[in-house]
Structure 1
Amino acid sequence: MMSLFKQTGLRWLWLAALVILLDQLSKLAVLQWLPFGYPGQPLVPYINLVHVYNKGAAFSFLADQAGWQRWFFTLFALGVSGALLVWLRKLPAAARWSPIAYCLIIGGALGNLIDRLAYGHVVDFIDFHVGQWHYPAFNLADSAICVGAVMIVLEGLLFRRPQQAGDKPS
């Protein structure tokens, strides 16, 4: 079993665990020290610390629904994480870019999943703004998912394998 982790992309799972840990610790701090609905404390220019809940997904997608979305997003997070684990297992130990991207997404998905199961919603606390325009509040798990997704897109655009003789042109 241990050789499976050393010889595949699964060796990067520590990164997913780190994302989950940092995400949950940051959310616990917000829950402990900021009242719900906290209007915002400037952290650095363009970023405020807030305390809001999201019952939906990114950009509060489906947040206004009756509650079924909690279970839909729970199953979705488990399905995506499971698929990424299968792909991690197929990657060689020398691979870096893809396993890091996959583990960031797994960590973020499971970090938000913990919130959904524990509270029925996701705790968000980062408010990025420019002037009066505010991006929807987010958290560290959301950030990890976005960074992982961007890495996958960049890999597809920048690191395509060279076309082999006999390959069909795309």
Structure 2
Amino acid sequence: MDGQFGKVRDYLTAVLCCAAAVLLDQITKHLAVVHLKQQREIVLIPGVFELRYLENRGAAFGLFQNRQIFFVCAAVVIFFLIGFFYGKIPGGRRNLPMRICAVLICAGAVGNLIDRIRYQYVVDFFYFSLIDFPIFNVADCYAVIACILFAYLILFFYKEEELEWFSFFRSK
């Protein structure tokens, strides 16, 4: 009974953390719409970093413009795949970083999905002018940071036998 309750508690915690992250993303996007739309960019560090409003109709960093149905479907699939894998992650403190990655990837997907459904585009506003990096948002940060951390964890942190849960097909 405690095992089942623990799983429900873990999922509920993940959903609440994801919702909090999505809320933060949506608040920052609302602030960008209110304060940056149809305004000049706000330079925070001259020649390095600024806030600049952009309506992104593509994927990450402006790729694949005007494919909204594809992006909505992809976000839903990502959400359910991450949810499935989240349930397979063993409990315990050692696997907490993997759970955090899952929550952040979901939060990034949901945050941008809300924009796509609501506006037909994603609100982006962070711009690194020093390297002319594509304009991005908080949800993009969640997804990119989580994917980098995920790769690091798989390559350097966990031993191969600790990742057996990650396989669809287990060797016998």
What TM-score bracket applies, with the shorter chain setting the length? 0.7 to 0.9
Question: For 1:75 and 1:163, how far apart are their aligned partners in 2?
Answer: 33
In structure 2, give the amino acid aligned to 1:4: K
> CA 1:50 to 1:160, structure 2 compared with 1: closer, same or farther past 3 Å?
same
Distance apart, 1:123 and its partner CA? 0.3
Structure 1 residue 60 and structure 2 residue 58: aligned?
no
Question: Among residues 27, 32, 35, which one is paired with 2:34 in the alignment?
Answer: 32
- Aligned residue identity for 1:44: I
Q: CA deviation at 1:163?
A: 6.0
Structure 2 unaligned regions, length at least 5: 163-170
Tell me the number of residue pairs that the alignment of Structure 1 and Structure 2 aligns.
157
**Post-superposition offset of 1:9:** 5.9
Alignment of structure 1 residues 141-156 onto 2, 5 Å: 141-156=139-154
The aligned runs of 1:131-142 (5 Å cut-off) are 133-142=131-140
TM-score, structure 2 length as denominator? 0.82
Deviation (angstroms), 1:13 = 2.9
RMSD: 2.1
The aligned residue for residue 41 of structure 1 is 42
**What SS is found at the alignment partner of 2:58?**
coil
Provide the secondary structure at the position in 2 that maps to 1:84: helix
Superposed CA deviations along residues 97-137 of structure 1, whole A, max 9, x for unmatched, are: 1110011010011000000000000000001121xx41110
SS at match of 2:99: helix
Change (3 A) 1:162 1:92: closer
Q: Contact (CA 8 Å) 1:9, 1:91: kept in 2 or not?
A: no
Residue in 2 that maps onto 1:157: 155
Which residue of structure 1 aligns with residue 80 of structure 2? Answer: 82
Task: Say whether residues 1:4 and 2:29 are aligned partners.
Answer: no
CA distance in 2 between partners of 1:152 and 1:10 (Å):
22
SS of the equivalent of 2:129 reads: strand
Question: In the alignment, residue 119 of structure 1 is paired with which amino acid?
Answer: Y
Instruction: Note the C-alpha offset of 1:39.
Output: 3.8
**C-alpha distance in 2 between matches for 1:121 and 1:143:** 17
Q: CA deviation at 1:15?
A: 2.4
What 5-or-longer segments of structure 1 have no aligned partner?
none
Q: Percent identity?
A: 29
Tell me the secondary structure at the aligned position of residue 42 of structure 1.
strand
Which structure: greater helix fraction?
2
